[in-house]
Amino acid sequence: MLIALGVTGGIGAYKAVEVVRGLQKRGHDVVAVMTRSARRFVGEVTFEAITRRRVITSQFAPGANADIEHIALASDIGLLVVAPATANVIGKFANGIADDFLSSLYLATRAPVLIAPAMNTNMLEHPAVRANLQTLASRGVRFVDPGEGFLACGWIGKGRLAEPEEVVEAADRLVRPVGTLLGRRLLISAGPTYEDIDPVRYVGNRSSGRMGYAIAAEAARRGAEVVLVSGPTTLDAPAGVRIERVRSAAEMARAMSTHARTVDAIVMAAAVADYTPERPHDTKIAKRDAPMDLTLVRTPDILADLGRARGNAPLPILVGFAAETGDPRARAREKLRAKHLDLIVANDVSRPGAGFETNTNAAFLISPDDEVETPVQLKTELAATILDRLERLLAAHSARV
């Protein structure tokens, strides 16, 4: 889910960096929106590096107006979080003043809004601020400490910004679907594999792991018990997911077959190497002037082996991926059949906004009797779409037994 994090000019602005990290760990994509005074406390470069997105600092930045950015972003986000929120921004929100990007975004979005106020105690207790908070609460805005309890019990907070983890937890709770996968066990693979040539070099591929990690994070949020077998990536383990890190296709095959017997579904999102060096060298191969031959041999097809091992049993449900260049449908249907899969997620990795090293993806979800095309969307959203399908497959199976 794409979450906008508004950062305003309070001393707690530095804690907003931790809020971004926490939201990312739970599988969300974050875009930071900073007010002018926030930038006096923390540099926008910090947020840019950590969100891996341009930080929005002004309504009038060149490039921000081609599609009226606050309107475009307003419809893209699933949640607006403001942490820390100063008395000033709370006053603007309450009174419909839209004199900068963040306050305009608040008016333009239909997404839920979560505010973590932070200010001096006297300011917080001032009747003007209390009235503004009351107004926002009556419109359905949610608060993190000390706002959450103020309607029922009067204002008792001191004004310190809540701890980042509390903000993250409250945000996640607002967007998390209910535990639709409670009691289910899922095995998910992600990332590339590295096939060693010698102790220094390897054969790899451009998979970032983001698609598989997004599926694992979403499945955990829905209550599933998740084992994530991950090839080498730079990503943190999603919250609530048991991660097993592997390097080569052979190691991934071993890890997958160990867990496969006890799970309800397997989602094979890893980009497993198809070939591996026949004989990796123990020592670094010295450079010579002559061309070098490298003999590669086939790796085990993990998914096909899992399909064979399952035989005619209905579980585990098997979901594969097919990354192709060009229209992927015909080859994906062939793989669906050959590997005995229940569902295959096929994409054209040569398409802009799809495939490796991007935050977005577009795909065809193909099952033996159905084919659905998804639009270009965030990988976190495609993860939710894939899991919706998987839930239906699991439900159909439960109905049969």
The answer to whether the beta carbons of residues 369 and 361 sit under 8 Å apart is: no
Q: Is 320 in the site for ligand C5P (CB under 6 A)?
A: yes
The DSSP secondary structure of 199-238, one letter per residue, reads SS-EE-----SHHHHHHHHHHHHTT-EEEEEE-S-SPPPP
Structure tokens belonging to residue 78: 């699933």
Q: Shortest distance, CB of residue 18 to ligand C5P, whole angstroms?
A: 34
For residue 310, the surrounding DSSP H or E stretch is: helix 302-310
Q: Which stretch binds ligand C5P (CB under 6 A): 26-34, 114-122, 264-272, 360-368?
A: 264-272
Q: Is 56 in the site for ligand C5P (CB under 6 A)?
A: no
Exactly one of 45, 66, 152, 153 is catalytic; name it. Answer: 153
The one-letter code for the residue type at 385 is T
Q: Shortest distance, CB of residue 154 to ligand C5P, whole angstroms?
A: 56
Q: Which is nearer to ligand C5P, 83 or 303 (CB)?
A: 303
Q: Shortest distance, CB of residue 288 to ligand C5P, whole angstroms?
A: 31
Q: Is 270 in the site for ligand C5P (CB under 6 A)?
A: yes
Q: Is 32 in the site for ligand C5P (CB under 6 A)?
A: no
Q: Shortest distance, CB of residue 331 to ligand C5P, whole angstroms?
A: 7
Q: Which stretch binds ligand C5P (CB under 6 A): 133-141, 158-166, 170-178, 267-275?
A: 267-275
CA torsion sign, 386 to 392 to 395 to 401? negative
Q: Among candidates 218, 122, 105, 124, which has minimal Cα distance to 162? A: 124
Q: How many residues bind ligand C5P (CB under 6 A)?
A: 13
Among 114, 170, 317, 322, binds ligand C5P (CB under 6 A): 322
Among 169, 244, 251, 274, binds ligand C5P (CB under 6 A): 274
Q: Is 210 in the site for ligand C5P (CB under 6 A)?
A: no
Q: Is 335 in the site for ligand C5P (CB under 6 A)?
A: yes
Q: Is 321 in the site for ligand C5P (CB under 6 A)?
A: yes
In this structure, the number of other CB atoms found within 10 A of the CB of residue 337 comes to 11
102/91 Cα distance (integer angstroms): 13
Q: Shortest distance, CB of residue 393 to ligand C5P, whole angstroms?
A: 16
Q: Is 249 in the site for ligand C5P (CB under 6 A)?
A: yes
Exposed/middle/buried for residue 153 (C-beta within 10 Å: 0-12, 13-18, 19+): exposed
Q: Shortest distance, CB of residue 324 to ligand C5P, whole angstroms?
A: 7
Q: Which stretch binds ligand C5P (CB under 6 A): 176-184, 277-285, 317-325, 372-380?
A: 317-325
The one-letter code for the residue type at 362 is A
List, in order, residues 6 or more apart from 197 with CB less than 8 Å away.
Answer: 203, 277, 280, 281, 285, 294
CA torsion sign, 272 to 259 to 329 to 353? negative
Give exposure, 342-369, as e/b (b: 16+ Cβ within 10 Å): bbbbbbbbeeeebbbebbbbbbbbbbee
Q: Which stretch binds ligand C5P (CB under 6 A): 160-168, 266-274, 283-291, 349-357?
A: 266-274
Is there a catalytic annotation at residue 153?
A: yes
The answer to whether the beta carbons of residues 239 and 25 sit under 8 Å apart is: yes
**CA R_g for the chain:** 24
Q: Shortest distance, CB of residue 116 to ligand C5P, whole angstroms?
A: 40
Q: Is 188 in the site for ligand C5P (CB under 6 A)?
A: no
What residues numbered 277-306 form the site for ligand C5P, per CB under 6 A? 299, 301-303
Mind telling me the catalytic residues? 153
| Residue numbers at the binding site for ligand C5P (CB under 6 A) | 249, 268, 270, 272, 274, 299, 301-303, 320-322, 335
